[in-house]
C-alpha cells in the first residue's frame, strides 16, 4: 500500500520555509499533496487559484514537479475530508516556534479524532525558520526585497503587484 500525506497551508504566498518542508516531506511519502486551504482567520492577498499556480511554478523551478507531488486547493469542508478523498493517512506541518505548537496541537488532536488522520511536525531549516508569508507580504508592500525569502516566481509576481 502506498503512503499518502497532505501539506496544507494558506501559502499566501508560498515561501522558502514552505518549500523546505515540502521537499523533506516528499522524501517520506510515496505521494504528497500540497493543498491551498482557505483560512477564514486570515485576510488573503492572493486569490487561491493564483496561489496554486505560484506553488506549481515554484516547484517546477526546483525540479520537484516530475515526482510524487500533487498541488491542489480545498475550500469546501474539513481538511480531513480532503485527506479521506485522496487516501492520505497523515498531515505534515512545519513548526517554527512555541506559537506554532500552541496553534497546531488542538487541530492535530481534532483531526485525529475526526478521521484518524495523524499530524507529523517537521522542524524548519534554521535558515528559513524566521520566514512567514505575513512577513513577506509586509516587506513587499513596503517596497523591500523579498527575494531572500521566496522562490523566484513569487518574487517576480510580488514585484509586479507592487509596481
Annotated binding site: 10-11, 18, 42, 79, 93-96, 104, 128-134
C-alpha cell at 140: 513587499
Here's the x/- map for ligand COD, 13-52, by CB under 6 A: it reads as --x-xx--x---------------x-x--x----------
Residue 115 contacts ligand COD per CB under 6 A: no
Q: Are strands 69-74 and 31-37 parallel, antiparallel or unpaired?
A: parallel
Question: Which grid cell is 80?
Answer: 480531513
Quote the CA–CA distance of 95 and 93 in Å, as a whole number. 6
Give the total of residues touching ligand COD (CB under 6 A). Answer: 26
**DSSP string for 19-54:** HHHHHHHHTTSSEEEEEEE--TTS--SS-HHHHHHH
Show binding-site residues for substrate.
10, 42, 79, 93
Distance separating alpha carbons of residues 91 and 141, to the nearest angstrom: 32
Quote the CA–CA distance of 146 and 27 in Å, as a whole number: 28
Among 128, 136, 150, 158, the residue binding ligand COD under the rule CB under 6 A is 128
Displacement of CA 140 from its chain's centroid (Å): 19
Contact status: 96 vs ligand COD (CB under 6 A): yes
Rounded Cα gap, residues 125 and 156, in angstroms:
24
Residue from 48, 86, 107, 115 touching ligand COD (CB under 6 A): that is 107
Region 50-79 residues binding ligand COD, contact defined as CB under 6 A: 78-79
Per CB under 6 A, the list member of 24, 112, 132, 147 interacting with ligand COD is 132
Given candidates 52, 83, 124, 157, which one binds ligand COD under the rule CB under 6 A? 124
Where on the chain is the footprint of ligand COD (CB under 6 A)? Answer: 8-11, 15, 17-18, 21, 37, 39, 42, 78-79, 93-94, 96, 100, 107, 110-111, 124, 128-129, 131-133
Amino acid at each position: 500500500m502506498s503512503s499518502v500525506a497532505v501539506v496544507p497551508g494558506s501559502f499566501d504566498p508560498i515561501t522558502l520555509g514552505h518549500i523546505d518542508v515540502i521537499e523533506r516531506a516528499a522524501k517520506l511519502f510515496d505521494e504528497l499533496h500540497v493543498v491551498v486551504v482557505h483560512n477564514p482567520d486570515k485576510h488573503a492577498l492572493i486569490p487561491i487559484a493564483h496561489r496554486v499556480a505560484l506553488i506549481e511554478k515554484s516547484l517546477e523551478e526546483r525540479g520537484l514537479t516530475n515526482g510524487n507531488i500533487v498541488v491542489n486547493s480545498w475550500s469546501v469542508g474539513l481538511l480531513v475530508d480532503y485527506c479521506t478523498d485522496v487516501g492520505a493517512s497523515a498531515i505534515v506541518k512545519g513548526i517554527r516556534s512555541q506559537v506554532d505548537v500552541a496553534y497546531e496541537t488542538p487541530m492535530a488532536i481534532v483531526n485525529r479524532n475526526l478521521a484518524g488522520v495523524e499530524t507529523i511536525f517537521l522542524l524548519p531549516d534554521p535558515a528559513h525558520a524566521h520566514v512567514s508569508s505575513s512577513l513577506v507580504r509586509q516587506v513587499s508592500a513596503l517596497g523591500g526585497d523579498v527575494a531572500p525569502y521566496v522562490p523566484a516566481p513569487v518574487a517576480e509576481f510580488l514585484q509586479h503587484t507592487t509596481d
